Structure 1
Amino acid sequence: MKRVLLIIGGGIAAYKSLDLIRRLKERGMSVRCVLTKGGQEFITPLAVGAISNEHVATDLFDLNAEREIGHIRLAREADVVVVAPATADLLARMAQGQANDMATAILLATRAPVLAAPAMNPAMWAHAATQRNVKQLAADGVAFIGPNAGEMAERGEAGVGRMAEVAEIVPRVEQLLEGESEARRGFGFIDVADRRPSGGKLPLAGRHVLVTSGPTHEPIDPVRYIANRSSGKQGHAVAAAAQKLGARVTLITGPVEIADPEGVTVQHVETAQEMLTAVEAALPADVAVFAAAVADWRVASAAEGKIKKAKGAPPPALHLAENADILATVARLKPRRRPQLVIGFAAETDAVVENAERKRSAKAVDWIVANDVSQGSGVFGGERNTVHLVTAQGVENWPQMSKADVAAALIGRAARYLAQSVEQV
């Protein structure tokens, strides 16, 4: 049975949540509810509990529930989290990463997809602050439905701000649940508890996995540099996933603002040349995953001092030189040095799959993980990703997942590939 966690915000549209609970249950889902302090001004915990047939969480500091860290348990046990109504205040606190009540603490701790159904006065929805918060949450992976246009509770008010109807929300919840199910059913997940038939070892025990992550910075002068837009979140997630499956992991990362994964050997570099040198020193490896966004070009001769502007003078010309292709260099190594499985990433803005297929063939790579990073995709710096796995056997179009789940699926698939190779030998 799929588990929905419904967070009910403090708006007049809270009355719709009672019907939403009923309709979700009719489709075989269990529904747990969190009723915010504002939500309790419109409907009661008794009404919500009677329809959901579940305990209704209201207080982050509830003595009985928090003896078992109730907010974390609710966050982790949910297959999808629905925020309906999502008020302007609740969206703002979500965007800021606050955790000052039960609802926001759960939203900060959950790994499940989050669907928000905004509901507020049209002026509040149109306000720059609300739109900024919505844009940030969308980049973080939160899905939205609505708001719709129509009459408001306030007399004479109309416009965009009405919460989406229950009949619209329920199919969207089912879609999100199906996406997560497909990801776990068909895209290579291996749970940490999943052991090999013999020896009880983790699937990648005794294996060395090499991962690159983040951007590279190619200096123009001591102050400026050329770089790509990469947060390193996907590459770091790949390293963490490999470590969880028992691998010895070497992570070579460019400049990022995220923490090093635990249990992983990490080497920090700046430039493409430094990354290539570190990669070659880290070999041999069983699997090499090149998730770093390496700059294709560098300034042929970086200035020793800061380049100064001169009034009336044209901008200085930058003479570029091509960086070494780290992915192709490793993929073309002789068999004794080449990793058994070489995986590259292709960040594309158009013809995503076609360009990835050409890249895989041209660089002699085993697998390419391709994704769309065009403007508005929300991939750079976000928490979710939609990728295509391109192999010699064809193309697999994966559903949108968290970057952690993309990493788990990819490394799970790599572990199975290595196991099958051993069986064939």
Structure 2
Amino acid sequence: MQYKGKNILLGITGGIAAYKTPDLVRKLIAKGAEVRVVVTDSAKEFVSPLALQAVSGNPVSDNLLDKDAEAAMGHIELAKWADQLLIAPATANFMAKLTYGLADDLLSTLCLATAAPITIAPAMNQQMWLAPATQDNLAVLQKRNVRFLGPAQGEQACGDVGPGRMLEPQDIADLVLPDLPQLLFGRKVLITAGPTREDIDPVRYITNHSSGKMGYALAQAAQQLGAEVTLVSGPVNIPKPNKVKTLNISSAEQMHETVMQNVMHSDIFIGCAAVADYKPLNRTSQKIKKSDQELTLTFIKNPDILSDVAHLDNPPFTLGFAAETQNVKEYALSKLQRKKLNMIAANDVSDDKIGFNSEQNALTVFWPEGEQKLEIADKSILAIQLMKLLALRYKENKND
């Protein structure tokens, strides 16, 4: 009952995954939360308001102007009552309505009227999720600090296979109301995330496909495990993690400088950023004009942040990442030994289901005495699994 007194307002829209929501209500209540439910008209085609009322212990709301509510302004009362607004499942249609600020029913009006954080668990056909319009809406909502849980990848009700499944009720409940032991309480954790940009001239740069999602998820997970977290982030388009100190940089050299300024005060360092190995030797002060058929650039090595941290006289416990396209285990173990890391997490970015910009990932984690595979999962879930494993290895390392 860790979350006794926490008010969760659950909004349900008209997707087939709505049939799972009575179980979701039960999972949230089991953690101590008070749950009230709002349904759209289409949601009632998939799940019974009576069933939701039975499991929540509260009347289910579906009317924008409720004559039984105080001053007939039920949406304002609910908006003020909620500590968090969770929408599960959220259809493509509802995401579009939220993006454009429509308020034509109770749930969409609540989204505008509440000051509570909004969390969305999408559920739709894989092609609808991948449609440019939906992806544009996703980007806009993320910039507004709307939190997304999933979607998961797998077989769908229509028979398609791909991204779009709603996360399972237990996973949603654990992410919204995490039951996490404070394994890293009192520890200071420094994490790098995202890509770097290496300038060629005032209008051009080289970079990579890293979205920063894994590093940001790790920062949030470390904070939830009780750590004091500093995140050094390259340029990304995702919201800052809650209660995490975020330092924004652009180039590998800036990231190196920022890390070295902060690492001496850190117990744990996690190098999750996709740092450019090379940068142009000379950055021109003016835009390079097109002239010949070929353009030759000379590159020089960037500083190796991970290696420099691990080779300090008194280094923090250091976890590196190896994003590979082939021979994943071989390259990861070589990097672990060569850079004197405590742990390394390896993933195959050639798999477009778990590569850059994906909502999911899968990792194999290596350390000098062993390894553990973390199966494909939403990055928020995977981050918690990895941080728990790291906390265990950190404790064992300190006791050696």
TM over 0.5: same fold?
yes
> Which of 356, 366, 376 matches 2:332?
356
Q: Distance in 2 between matches of 1:29 and 1:230?
A: 34
Structure 2: distance between partners of 1:412 and 1:266:
22
Secondary structure at the aligned position of 2:192 is classed as strand
Matched, 1:116 2:124: yes
Matches within 5 A, 1:127-276: 131-133=131-133, 141-143=150-152, 145-146=155-156, 148=158, 176=168, 191=180, 194=181, 203-205=184-186, 207-261=187-241, 263-276=243-256
C-alpha separation in 2, matches of 1:405 and 1:255? 23
Q: What is aligned with 2:259?
A: 279
User: 1:243 offset after TM fit, Å?
Assistant: 3.8
Alignment partners' CA distance in 1, 2:124 and 2:41: 18
- Go from structure 1 to structure 2 and tell me whether the alpha carbon gap of 1:66 and 1:350 turns closer, same or farther (over 3 Å shift): farther
Which SS does the other structure have where 2:235 is aligned? coil
Contact 2:202–2:287 at 8 Å: present in 1 too? yes
Greater gyration radius? 1
1:300 alignment counterpart = 281
Kept in 2, the 8 Å contact 1:183–1:401? The answer is no
Size of the aligned set, in residue pairs, is 353
Matched, 1:394 2:367: no
Superposition pairs of residues 44-123 of structure 1, within 5 angstroms? 48-49=49-50, 53-54=54-55, 55-59=59-63, 63=69, 67=77, 69=79, 81-82=88-89, 89-90=93-94, 92-93=96-97, 96=99, 100=103, 101=105, 109-110=118-119, 114-116=122-124
Any idea what SS the aligned residue of 1:116 has?
A: coil
- Report if aligned partners of 1:251, 1:267 keep a CA contact under 8 Å in 2: yes
Q: Which runs of 5+ in 1 are unaligned?
A: 119-124, 150-159, 165-171, 196-201
Q: Deviations over 1:174-230 (max 9, x none)?
A: x9458779999xxxx872xx45xxxxxx7431x332211221111111221111222
Q: Which of these residues, 37, 41, 46, is aligned with residue 41 of structure 2?
A: 37
Who is 1:326 aligned against? 305
8 Å contact kept, 1:180–1:401: no
| One-letter identity of the residue aligned with 2:131 | Q
Q: For 2:125 and 2:373, how far apart are their aligned partners in 1?
A: 28
Give the secondary structure class of the aligned counterpart of 1:369: strand
Rounded Cα–Cα distance in structure 1 between residues aligned with 2:308 and 2:168 = 40
Kindly state the Cα deviation for residue 364 of structure 1 after the two structures are TM-superposed: 2.0
The alignment-based identity, stated in percent, is: 30
Scaled by the length of structure 2, the TM-score of the pair is 0.68
**What displacement does 1:342 show?**
0.4
CA shift, 1:72, in A, is: 5.4
Question: Partners of 2:327 and 2:170 in 1: how far apart?
Answer: 26
What is the aligned-residue RMSD (CA, Å)?
A: 4.7
Q: 1:419 to 1:395 in 2, by over 3 A?
A: closer
The verdict on how the C-alpha distance between 1:177 and 1:371 changes in structure 2, with shifts beyond 3 A counting, is: farther
Structure 2: stretches of 5+ with no match in the other structure: 1-9, 30-35, 112-116, 140-147
Asked whether the equivalents of residues 179 and 399 of structure 1 are also in contact (C-alpha less than 8 Å), the reply is no
Q: Check conservation: 1:373, 1:380, Cα contact below 8 A.
A: yes
Q: Please, which of 364, 368, 384 is the counterpart of residue 408 of structure 1? A: 384
C-alpha contact 2:189 2:229 (8 A) present in aligned 1: yes
Partner in structure 2 of residue 168 of structure 1: none
Cα distance, 1:301 vs structure 2: 1.9
Q: Is the 8 A contact 1:368 1:390 kept in 2?
A: yes
Once the 2 structures are TM-superposed, how far is the Cα of residue 403 of structure 1 from its aligned partner? 3.3
Question: Given the superposition, is the C-alpha separation of residues 361 and 97 from structure 1 closer, same or farther in structure 2, using an over 3 Å criterion?
Answer: farther
TM-score, structure 1 length as denominator?
0.64
- Verify the 8 A CA contact 1:218 1:295 in the aligned structure 2: yes
**Alpha-carbon shift at residue 420 of structure 1 (Å):** 3.8
Residue 293 (structure 2) aligns with: 314
Verify the 8 A CA contact 1:190 1:409 in the aligned structure 2.
no
Specify the code of the residue in structure 1 equivalent to 2:289. Answer: K
Is 1:376 aligned to 2:384, yes or no? no
What SS class does the counterpart of residue 346 from structure 1 fall into? strand
C-alpha spacing 1:381/1:327, structure 2 compared with 1 (3 Å):
same
